[in-house]
Every structure is written in structure tokens, then in C-alpha cells.
Amino acid sequence: MDRYDMFPHIEERLTMTAREWLMFHWTMHRHNSMYRGRHLLKTPMDLLVLRDIIADTRPEVVIEIGSFDGGSALWIADQLEIEKNPARVIGVDVSPRCTAVADSRIDWVIGDCTDPKVVDEVRRLAEHRRGLVIEDSDHKLETTRRILQLYESFVAVGSYFIVEDTIVEFIDMPPFPGPLAAVREFVERRSAAFRIDRSREKYLLTHNPMGYLARTAE
């Protein structure tokens, strides 16, 4: 049986619930999403939200933690160029696979994102610029918790810390507990400076429910 046979055809998909659609996309299409020949593991709706955030906040640096194949970093660099924004992209990943994308707008930092040497290198490259941070690493509770602690200082007031794939805890996919539990802890602890911005979920279908964290104060 073809792996797609287990899912409904297009006319039946029209009656799928949001939860069913997200499960369908997560399991079947996420790894097939491509951009300029590289994998881009985001839903179209989350890309629209990220585009809006880039346009609204005009970051001077975008830090992507977990760059995988490099497709999303390349997409971000192109969006910045469309916005006539000269901001740089810093891609952080434990694997050098993403470095196959050789682009003058992207700086690659290879290593464990929680390693103090990696954090120091990101700090050097960011050069105190207004930052937007995207967390898309392994989604384990401890990892996300640590990343939020280590990288919150890079997020400018008026910008965002985006924690991706919080959906895993809604569709009962491992790891559980995972990034959403870390987000809730973080926002409770740092409520004076960060808030969950549900307005960024305006396209309804998202892999990042409650994962758009707006920075409101130092």
C-alpha cells in the first residue's frame, strides 16, 4: 500500500478537523516541503506569520536555532531582501549539513546550541543588533528550557522569540512534555518581559500554538 493511501483524498480532506490536518501535514508532508532545492520544515501558514513578523519588527539579525538542511535560513534571507532589510541570518545547528547552503547573507555556527562557545560565537556575530530568535532544535523540554534561558538576551524589545513545533504536545507526538511546557514555564517566570501573542496564530493552522513570544520589556 502506498503510504498516502492511509490518508483521505482531497475531497475528503475538506472535512478534516484542524487537528487531523496538522497530523496529516506533520507525518506526511513536512519532510517533503522544499525551498530552492533545500528542505523547509514549516507549514505555509507559519511561513506567512514569519513573513509578517519580519516585516513588522524589522530585525537587524535573525537567529535560527536548528537549521537542518538550510532551507528555512535561505527563505528568511530572501524575505529580508524582499523587505529591503540588510539584516543577517545566523543559523545554528549541531550538524554541518546546513552549510551546503553557501550564501553571503547567512553565517553558520556549527555545534550544540547550548555550548557556551556556540553562544559566545552567536553573540559575536549578532553584535548587539536587534534580534529575532527562532528555536527549532530537538524540542525536548530540557533543551527548549535551556535555549530560552541562553538566547532571550538576543531578542529585542518589540521583537519575538519563536518556539517552533509546540504542536507535538497537542497531537500527542514525542517528545512529551516538550517545548510547550518549556514555554509556559518561561513566560510565567519572565512575564514582565515576554507574553504569548496568540494574534500571530491568525491563519489558524500552525505548528507553533502558543509559541510566538513577544518581548515587551527588558
pLDDT digits (tens, 9 = 90+) for 199-210: 999 988 888 999
| pLDDT score of 161 more than 60 | yes
Q: Cα separation of 125 and 204, whole Å? A: 35
**Can you give the pLDDT at residue 216?**
98
Phi-psi region of 119 (alpha: psi -120 to 50; beta: other; left: phi over 0): alpha
Q: Cα separation of 45 and 216, whole Å? A: 24
**Can you give the pLDDT at residue 26?**
64
Q: Which domains are seen in the chain, by residue range?
A: 33-215 (3.40.50.150)
Mean pLDDT of 6-25: 59
**Can you give the pLDDT at residue 15?**
58
| pLDDT score of 111 more than 90 | yes
Q: How far, in Å, are 22, 96, 195 from residue 185 at the CA level?
A: 25, 31, 12
